[in-house]
């Protein structure tokens, strides 16, 4: 595979969408052919699964169902979008990938990391990002940003603050385990300061 695979991670309110747009502009300005995508989603089937996962319901969803739906969407995503794009030589940028499952379903829901790893190994067959940006900020600040949007809150955003603290802790632990791949970005800073952090890292892989 000739392309690069970059993923964007972080808790709710970390500003991933804003910075993904900046990364897109920066790489396009450096003559990279891009494929932009997201999880859960990225394909027609994946977007249908995304709706199931994000829509609040009175009956809720079993944690194992949530985990398996995430990987069902991901299997389709990898097969139909990510691998073909990398084989074309595209740089793929995905808003979330497997790290999010370890953080949300592992850290947040309490599913054993070994179970997630087993499904990931079976589903992804060795595929992992070349670079992951982890946009990190205090959970309280992230929650303030989410509330300030005045948007409909999805099923995950409705969770309590302890849920997001567990997710943040898991993300940071994964970053410690894979420092060459996962780069922590201080998302509490200004947009200009965040962009400077991104440029410093992107320059090393272009």
pLDDT tens digit string along 34-80? Answer: 999 999 999 999 999 999 999 998 888 999 999 999 999 999 999 99
The β-bridge partners of 170 are: none
Is-contact 83 2, C-beta < 8 A?
A: no
Domains for the chain: give ranges and CATH numbers: 5-202 (3.40.50.300)
Block residue for tokens 């074309």: 88
Q: What is the pTM of this model?
A: 0.94
Maximum C-alpha span of the chain: 48
d(CA 19, CA 73): 24
Rounded average pLDDT over 183-190:
96
Percent of residues, the chain, with pLDDT higher than 70: 100
């Amino acid at each position: 595979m000739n392309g690069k695979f970059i993923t964007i991670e972080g808790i709710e309110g970390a500003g991933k969408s804003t910075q993904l747009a900046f990364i897109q502009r920066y790489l396009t300005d450096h003559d990279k052919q891009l494929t932009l995508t997201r999880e859960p989603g990225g394909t027609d089937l994946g977007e249908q699964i995304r709706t199931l996962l994000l829509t609040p319901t009175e009956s809720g969803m079993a944690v194992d169902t949530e985990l398996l739906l995430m990987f069902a969407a991901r299997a389709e995503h990898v097969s139909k979008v990510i691998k073909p794009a990398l084989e074309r030589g595209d740089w793929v940028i995905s808003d979330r990938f497997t790290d999010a499952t370890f953080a949300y379903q592992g850290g947040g829901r309490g599913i054993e990391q070994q179970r997630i790893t087993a499904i990931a190994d079976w589903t992804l067959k060795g595929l992992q990002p070349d670079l992951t940006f982890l946009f990190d900020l205090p959970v309280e600040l992230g929650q303030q940003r989410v509330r300030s949007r005045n948007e409909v809150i999805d099923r995950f955003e409705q969770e309590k603050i302890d849920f997001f603290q567990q997710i943040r802790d898991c993300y940071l632990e994964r970053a410690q385990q894979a420092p060459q791949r996962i780069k922590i970005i201080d998302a509490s800073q200004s947009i200009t300061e965040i962009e400077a952090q991104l440029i410093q890292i992107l320059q090393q892989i272009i």
